[in-house]
Amino acid sequence: MRIISGKYRGRQIPVPKNLMVRPTTDFAKEGLFNILSNHFDFGKVKVLDVFAGTGNISFEFISRGANSVLALDNNPKSTEFIRQTAEKFGYTNLLVIRSDYLSFLSSTIKKWDLIFADPPYDMESISEIPTLVLDRQLLNPGGILVIEHDKKINFSSHQFFSDHRVYGKVNFTFFRYG
């Protein structure tokens, strides 16, 4: 796994084999960030990375100058790996929290400019994520929710659906108010 752009471009992130995760591919990540860079000045963006896994997306946001990133995962091995890697790289604007996504999103009072969620593709409650985030108004004005998912999932009928993109086997659906 590597950081594909920004200040830390090319930096390799060796992922332990005992982490049972599916990092977003470089191809998909590049497509995602090309889209997001047209919507945001990353230096002003507050990001929530839900189901952070390896921290792949969080580290990419940091490299591109994100104001702050909160990496959320319920797996202690994942959160420890992200924390150690952030410390090793000297990232000071990355906060790592170990929590269940449902508990966290249901109780937080914070708001973000961008929320990225990459749940397990077979997670049964994946379709509830946009409703939870958007009903609780966890996005700042102009904010975007992005969910990475399997091709079997179709969010196009959701009230706040904005766009859908496919990069190989990776699907991204974008949500925003209005």
Amino acid at 1: M
Q: Is residue 108 part of a domain?
A: yes
Q: How confident is the model over 46-75, as pLDDT tens digits? A: 999 999 999 999 999 999 999 999 999 999
Strand order in the sheet with 94-98: 94-98, 68-73, 46-50, 112-117, 139-149, 170-175, 161-167
Per the domain annotation, does 141 fall within a domain?
yes
Question: What does the pLDDT read at residue 161?
Answer: 96
How far, in Å, CA of 140 to CA of 126, rounded? Answer: 22
pTM: 0.95
In a domain, 6, yes or no: no
Number of domains the chain is built from: 1
Is 1 a member of any domain? no
Structural domain includes residue 61: yes
Please give the pLDDT value at position 12: 86
Structural domain includes residue 164: yes
pLDDT of residue 178: 62
User: Minimal CA–CA distance to 41: which of 66, 59, 63, 7?
Assistant: 66
Tell me, letter by letter, the H, E, C secondary structure of the chain. Answer: CECCCCCCCCCECCCCCCCCCCCCCHHHHHHHHHHHHCCCCHHHCEEEEECCCCCHHHHHHHHCCCCEEEEEECCHHHHHHHHHHHHHHCCCCEEEEECCHHHHHHHCCCCEEEEEECCCCCCCCHHHHHHHHHHCCCEEEEEEEEEEECCCCCCCCCCCEEEEEEECCEEEEEECCC
- Token duo for residue 139: 């996005």
At residue 2, the pLDDT reads: 87
Q: b/e string for 78-101 if b means 16 or more Cβ within 10 A?
A: bbebbbebbeebebeebbbbbeeb
**Domain holding 112: CATH number?**
3.40.50.150
pLDDT value, residue 21:
80
List the domain range (segments joined by +) for residue 76: 26-175
Which residue ranges of the chain lie beneath pLDDT 50? none
Question: Residue 97: inside a domain, yes or no?
Answer: yes
Give the pLDDT of residue 132: 94
* Domain presence at residue 8: no
